Amino acid sequence: MPPLPIGREFAFLLKDVSRMLRTYADYEAGKFGTTQAQWAVLSRLKLNEGLKQNELAEMLDIQPITLTRLVDRMCESGLIERRNDPADRRAKRLYLTAAAEPMIQRLSSLGEKVMDDVLDGFSREDIEKMVGQFAALKQNLRKLLQRKCTEAAKEGGLERHYG
């Protein structure tokens, strides 16, 4: 079989690394009785409390119905709560509860350990360079997606914002 073009090889490796990192994070999060998906929700809310569910779903790149079930379970476990939106009585905003803070602290420490293990053998300079390169890739993709959204809007499609 001939070797893949380098761009395609890069895309496959990027997908594999992303999937494997999620799988490993899910395994490690399970030690604290949570999942990688719940970890992601807690982390995003820690940085952006008061998001609407649809905003959080877009940030996490998951379907709103999937997030609704996740949020329902997390509300039942007392980690997050829905509050009325003062500007829109139909909407709810998501907030962390006091009970979430110890879990967030444990997961934050776990996240540092996971990434220390994953990045083992890489120098700080290597990591900083990769971060810069991935930020540039993200920016390129953001521009491409925004262009597609603009084209779709002109054709009557829905616009979606990518962060």
What is the token pair recorded at 151? 């084209």
Distance CA 72, CA 82 (A): 9
The total of other beta-carbon atoms located within 10 Å of residue 160's CB is: 12
pLDDT tens across the length of the chain (163 residues): 677 899 999 999 999 999 999 999 999 999 999 999 999 999 999 999 999 999 999 999 899 999 999 999 999 999 999 999 998 888 899 999 999 999 999 999 999 999 999 999 999 999 999 999 999 999 999 999 999 888 888 887 655 555 5
For residue 71, the 8-state DSSP code is H
pTM for this predicted structure: 0.79
- 65 within 8 A of 50, measured Cβ to Cβ: no
Can you read off the two tokens belonging to residue 50? 């008061």
Amino acid in position 116: D
Closest CA to 114 of 38, 21, 19: 21
Judge residue 140's burial from the number of C-beta atoms within 10 Å of its C-beta, 0-12 exposed, 13-18 middle, 19 or more buried.
Answer: exposed
Pair of tokens at residue 48 = 């952006």
> Please, what CATH class does the domain formed by 6-120 belong to?
mainly alpha
DSSP class of 3: P
For the chain, the structural domain boundaries read 6-120, 122-163
